[in-house]
Structure formats: C-alpha cells, structure tokens
C-alpha cells in the first residue's frame, strides 16, 4: 500500500512539473483589454486651436511691442514640433511648407503687417485641417 501511495504522489508531482514547464515554456504576450492609439485628428485640432489662440491674442492687442510679437511667434512656431511637421508633410507637403514659412515669418513682421500675416496662417491652418482630418 505504501508503494502505491508513493507512486501516486510521484505521478501527481510529475503532472505538476510537466504542467508548469508547459505553461512557462511559451512566450507570453501581454494582453490588454483595450489598445488605444492617439487620435491624430484630435491632436491636430487641439494644436490648431492652440496656435489660433496664441496668434489671436498676439494680433488683437494693438499695444503689443515688437519683442512680445517675436516671443509669441516663437512660441507658436515651437508648438509645431518635428513630429507634427512630419505627420502633416505625409498628407500635403505644400501646406506644411507654407505653414512653417508663415509661422517663421511672424517673428519678423511689423505691427502693421501682423494682422494680415496671422490671417494668412489661419487660412493655411484651415487648409491643413482639411487634409489632416479624414471624412
């Protein structure tokens, strides 16, 4: 009887060892309930709104000095980082080039030219939004 019990225990131990070795021999891939990707359209709309807010504040203040204009223009240009430029460039290179040039040129405009240049940036942003947001 003792031998039978020992064999039964050894058999159970072998089953456990075999089961554990099978379980841990596979490469586990982490499973997630959801795999959310960033929504590029929403990110771009947010960026466009940030640019518009910055530029509207800058162009609506008639008493703004040239140093402040330059600082705000540099901030607006910094919002358009390399990853955004790359993403826009994939969809429409001309619009991307025009937007970058227009934002860069804002740093050097006079107060008199500011509103016209900001309006031009708004037009380019509207066009970029058309290409960036799928229908």
Per-residue pLDDT tens digits for 69-97: 889 899 999 998 888 888 888 888 999 99
Lowest mean pLDDT among 15-24, 61-70, 97-106, 108-117: 15-24
Write down the pLDDT at residue 98: 94
Question: Between helices 40-60 and 111-132, what is the axis angle to 10°?
Answer: 170
pLDDT tens digit sequence for 57-72: 888 887 778 888 889 8
- Mean per-residue pLDDT for 106-118? 88
Axis-axis angle for helices 82-91, 40-60 (nearest 10): 110
Q: What is the percent of the chain with per-residue pLDDT over 90, rounded to a whole number?
A: 27
Confidence of residue 102 (pLDDT cuts 50, 70, 90): very high
* pLDDT(135) > 70: no
> What's the pLDDT at 10?
80
Cα dist from 38 to 26, 41, 62, 92, whole Å: 31, 9, 38, 20
Mean pLDDT of the chain: 82
Average pLDDT over residues 11-39: 68
């Amino acid at each position: 009887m003792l031998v039978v019990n020992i064999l039964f225990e050894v058999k159970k131990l072998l089953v456990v060892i075999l089961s554990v070795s099978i379980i841990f021999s596979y490469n586990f891939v982490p499973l997630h309930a959801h795999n959310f990707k960033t929504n590029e359209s929403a990110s771009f709309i947010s960026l466009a709104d940030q640019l518009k807010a910055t530029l509207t504040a800058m162009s609506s203040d008639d008493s703004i000095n040239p140093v402040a204009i330059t600082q705000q223009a540099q901030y607006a240009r910094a919002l358009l980082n390399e990853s955004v430029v790359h993403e826009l460039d994939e969809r429409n290179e001309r619009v991307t080039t025009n937007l970058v040039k227009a934002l860069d040129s804002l740093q050097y405009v006079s107060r008199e030219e500011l509103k016209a240049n900001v309006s031009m940036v708004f037009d380019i942003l509207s066009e970029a939004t058309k290409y960036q947001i799928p229908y």
